[in-house]
Every structure is written in C-alpha cells, then in structure tokens.
Structure 1
Amino acid sequence: MRKLIVTGDIGGTNARLAIFDATDSDDVCAQPCVHRTSYRNEQFSRFHDVLDTFVQEARAHLNDASFYIAAMCLAVAGPVVADRVSFTNRQQWILDANELRDAFHIDRVRFLNDFVSNGYGLLTLREPDECYVLQRGEPSAGEPKACVGAGTGLGECYLTACAQPDVSGQGSTVWHYEAHATEGGHVDFAPITELELELLQYLRNKFGDSGHRVSVERVVSGRGLVNIYEFLREKYPEKVQPSIDKSILESNDGAATIARYVYECGLCAQAMRMMMDIYGTECGNAALKYLPFSGLYIAGGIAPKNLEWLQEGKSDFLKRFREKGRVSTILRRIPVKVVLAEDLGLRGAHVVAARMASDTFPPTSATAGALKHPRRWYETRAILMEHTERIVYFTGLLGVLASCAYTGASVCWWYFRRTRPA
C-alpha cells in the first residue's frame, strides 16, 4: 500500500496543496510529487471542502484507491493556537487538526505558521542554484540559521540544530534543524539618518491610534514601501510626476507599481533605496539576536524581485547590515544569502510532513478498506455521540455501584454498632 503525505500552503486568497509519495523513502528530496494543484478560497465555504476535492482528484489522478495518507502539514497565514487556526478574512474557515485527522483518516496532522514553514524550507535549498550570495562570511556547520523576509508583511524566524548519529556509517555529523517562530517584524522602527527620523514622525502621525509606536514592518514590507513613497511625495512635492503618482495611489499593489517605475521616477527610486537601507539595518539586528553563523537567509517576495537594490552601489543594504559599532566584526562572519525559490513555504511543510510520516506505519488489511472514502462530518458526529453515550452509561453504572457499596458499608456499620457488646 502506498504511503502518501499531503502538504499545503494556505493563504488568505489561495490554497496550494500537493501530495508526495513517501512509500520508498523518508528523504524529502527522494519523494516524488504525484499530484499538485491550487484552489481559490472564495469558491469554498469550508476548508474541509477544499481538502475533500483535492483528495478525490488525487484518487482519480493516481487511479489507486488503496493509498493511505500518513501525515499532513499545512503552512497557514495566521496564528496556530491549540492545533486550531481561524482565518480573519474568512470567518467560516476554522481548521482543526483533530477534526481533519478523523474526517480524512490521516495519521498525523500539523499546522505551521507560514514563516516558520519558510524556515524549514531552507533545509531543502540547492544553494548554488537557488540562492544569491550577498556576503560569503565564514559558515559554520551546526550553528543557528535565521530567515528574514519582506513581502506583504515582514516575517522572521530562526533555526537551531542538534547533532544526530550518522546511520550511513561515513562518520560525519548529521545536524537536525528545528525552526522557531518569532514576531521580529513587529519590533520598533529605529531610524538612523535625519530623513528617517522625519519618516518616523510622519508615520507616528499617520498611525497615531497605535500609541505613536511604529513597527519596522510599517517600513520594510510592500505596504511599507508605499508608506515611504507617500512620505517623500509630501516632503518633496516638486519631484512628484503626476501620471506616475496617480498610478501608484490608485493601484491595488502600490509597491509593485513603485518598483516598476524606479528607473523613471526619482521619488520611486529614493523610496526603494530608503527601504532597502532600513531593510539592511533590520537584517543586521536579526543577525545580532540569533548569531546565525550557518547563514542569514533573505526570503519573501521583495528581495528576489529587486535583487540589484540589495547590492552595493544601488543602496547601503550591506553597509547598514554591518554597521553595528563594537560588534560590527561579528556580522562580517555571517553568510548572507537571498532565496530565489518561490515555493519555500510548501517545501517547509513537506519537510515537517515527511518527518511525521517516518514514524507512522501502514494500516492493516482489516482497516485498509475504510480508507477508500473520507469520513463525512455527519459520520464523525455520529461516532462522537456514540462514544459520549458509552461514557455516560459507564459513568452512571459506576455511580450505581458506588452507591450500592456505600449503602452496604453503612448497613454493616449500623449492624456492628447494634450487636457490639456494651
């Protein structure tokens, strides 16, 4: 029987799902993808319906009803609390790991914060082809890794390693990495130049309802780039190009529009340069906090699409990364790389699902037939009610037995007191 694992990257707009065959290997790189597709979330009232459609399509595609799903890991755009996820922009979408496990007969189910999934995805990179090196540094095996990524928002995570025995017999140390979530993108924005101080005051006035605190995500992100542009157009009205300005302000994706006009509009170029400078400062802050001597990886959508703006000459990204006073020499030892792969979250979910699947065993022939169709919600409810009735019955029976025992003991004590010699 084929052992499969399901991985997914579930955002607010799209649900990307894939199935990998883990029958012959626990190694992520050796597991072939047997089915992959993407769905628009707006077309489904519940995530259960998305997964049901995906599994049915996979069965038809594979033409094999005998497979079983050993593990599923989903990267989700939201906080994971007690194995449950609620999507703020889709109120009907409440993902519960236990419900999905029972409804679809999956051995193990786990949810990951989407940026933690990016952290695990680093472990799958073919670095010569999928990374651009900004600073070679002095890489050290087994040391922490860190990932910082600006896109719609600003995410940060870090990975730590522990040594494991080498089963290959070659005698080399094998490092097992675990990723950890942070909210590093919400630390305070700390300006360095006079212009950045003015930007901070502008953002304080703009977001005054938040107690005059400004997070670095307000500056280093897609929306942050728009905030910087709006600040600059207000400070330098004589530099505004009306047609381009109108396109930016009316666009649904102002950051992409600004990036498109960086070689035609001086304000757009200045906004991009300013954001990249601050981006470099924040990456340096992250490097000081995590000391990732195995590498600091820059992910997210902004860096790979604007790679030239991270290089010396276009911005002070690396200069600002290294300028940390007395500890600047430490940062020169840390490798800095830009991740070019676009499916890092899905890869990270695959890594975690493969680890979970390596500890599972195929079902027996007696239970294999039950895996041909996923259990519907009403079947799950019926089973739950059946177990509840059994619990109530046995609880009542124990109560009756305890009452009888208490009554018997009371009678014996009364009889003993009556018959005891004076």
Structure 2
Amino acid sequence: RYSYAAGAEIAISGQGIANIFEFICSDEFDTGLLSSDYEDEVSRAALEAGLSDKARNILASRRLDWPAHIALHAEDDAFCALTMELFTRLYALKAANLTSIFLPPGGVWLAGGISSKNESWLIKNARFMRWFEKNYAPHIRQFLAHTPVMIVKNYDISLLGAAVAAQQFSSHA
C-alpha cells in the first residue's frame, strides 16, 4: 500500500486500528496463520464464519469513526477483538523495544487518546503488560517486568508540558 518503509504509526494509532481491522476483514487475511496463543482472546470459528454484521456496519461507516466502533465491540465481535488484540500486542512490543533502548528511570508513560480511551481493554487480564514484558533476553525481560507503566488520563498533558517548558525557557532568557 505504501511506497516507503512503514512506521509504527501505521499500526499503533487510531488509524492503525482501522488499518488492522481493514486487513482482518479483507480476503487477504488467512485465519490459518493465527497462532494458538490467540485462542484465548478470539474465536477462530467466528472469524472463519465470515464477516459479522457488526464488522460490515463498521466497514460501511466513516473510516475516522472505525477505531471507536472497533473498541466498543471488542468484547462481543471476533473481528473487533482480534483487531484490538493485534493492536495491543504491537503497541506493547513497540513500547518495550523503546524502553529497552532508553531505559527510562521513571518508567513508561502512555499518553494520548489511544491509551486513555482504551484503558480498560489494555489492562484487562494484563493484556498490555503480558506483551510488554516479552523479550528474548532474560535480563531485558526482568528489566521490563520491573518497569512501571502508567496511562496518562489527562489528554491535555502535552499542553501542560509545553507551558511548563515555555515558562522555564522564558525565565532563563
């Protein structure tokens, strides 16, 4: 689809959720490629039965609205559940990779609408943390397991941070 190397935002964003969903609902998606570790989260039989009415309705709606509809139906529709499960795994693995590179002493802060809007999905059954803590190296796994991960619920935090930075900058000028 893209004529350049895809970045993380292709999958780890609101529109990333829409991209994942679109692929799962397409003829290109093969349920036979799903590993068994998805069985606890998603009904393979429901996926193999074909597009659900909910999935069809989402596809027929405005694409910008897809992420909210997908998240809303993640508990009762296999296509939405698999989308959110894949999104969560990709999000957690990317966060873990960055954490293992930057070694943040204060932990990881998940900010932005995607985390706060999907908080209950991310924390249910430790979904996010199960994948955040996965790593091939035992010492990295141990580090990740002891790294605090927080969800920022105040969507305006970036504005507050910018205001503090501006104030500090102006006092040094």
Q: Shorter-chain TM-score: what band?
A: 0.7 to 0.9
- The alpha carbon displacement at 1:272 in A equals 0.6
Which residue number in structure 2 is paired with residue 268 of structure 1? 80
Q: Which residue of 2 aligns with 1:304?
A: 116
From 155, 161, 164, the counterpart of 1:342 = 155
CA 1:352–1:230: 2 relative to 1, 3 Å = same
SS at the partner of 1:325? Answer: coil
SS of match in other structure, 2:76:
coil
**Corresponding residue of 1:259:** 71
Count of residues paired in the alignment: 151
TM-superposition CA deviations, 1:320-354 (whole Å, max 9, x none): 21111222112122211111111112101210121
Task: Write out per-residue CA displacement over residues 224-277 of structure 1, whole angstroms, 9 at most, x where no aligned residue.
Answer: 111111111123463412354233442232111211222332211110111001
Residue 242 (str. 1) matches residue 34 (str. 2): no
SS in 1 for 2:110: strand
Residue 262 of structure 1 aligns to a residue whose secondary structure is coil
Higher alpha-carbon Rg? 1
* SS of 2:74 mapped into structure 1: coil
Which 5+ residue runs of structure 2 have no aligned equivalent? 30-46
Residue in structure 2 matched with residue 321 of structure 1 by the alignment: 132
Q: Deviation per CA, 1:82-102, whole angstroms, max 9, x where unpaired? A: xxxxxxxxxxxxxxxxxxxxx
1:355 paired with 2:168, answer yes
Corresponding position of 1:77:
none
Richer in strand (by share)? 1
1:177 corresponds to = none
The residue number in structure 1 matching 2:18 is: 226
Instruction: State the distance in 1 between where 2:60 and 2:105 align.
Output: 41
Question: How high is the TM-score relative to the length of structure 2?
Answer: 0.77
Computed over aligned residues only, the root mean square deviation of the Cα atoms, in angstroms, reads 2.0
- Distance in 2 between the 1:237 and 1:307 partners? 29
Map 1:23-422 onto structure 2 (within 5 A).
206-207=1-2, 209-210=3-4, 213-234=5-26, 235=29, 236=47, 238-251=49-62, 252-313=64-125, 315=127, 317-326=128-137, 327-359=140-172
Summarize deviations over 1:4-56 as a string: whole Å, max 9, x none. Answer: xxxxxxxxxxxxxxxxxxxxxxxxxxxxxxxxxxxxxxxxxxxxxxxxxxxxx
Q: Calculate percent identity across the aligned residue pairs.
A: 27
Contact 2:54-2:77 within 8 A present in 1 as well: no
When the two structures are superposed, what TM-score results if normalisation uses the length of structure 1?
A: 0.34
Name the CA distance, whole Å, in 1 between partners of 2:73 and 2:164.
39
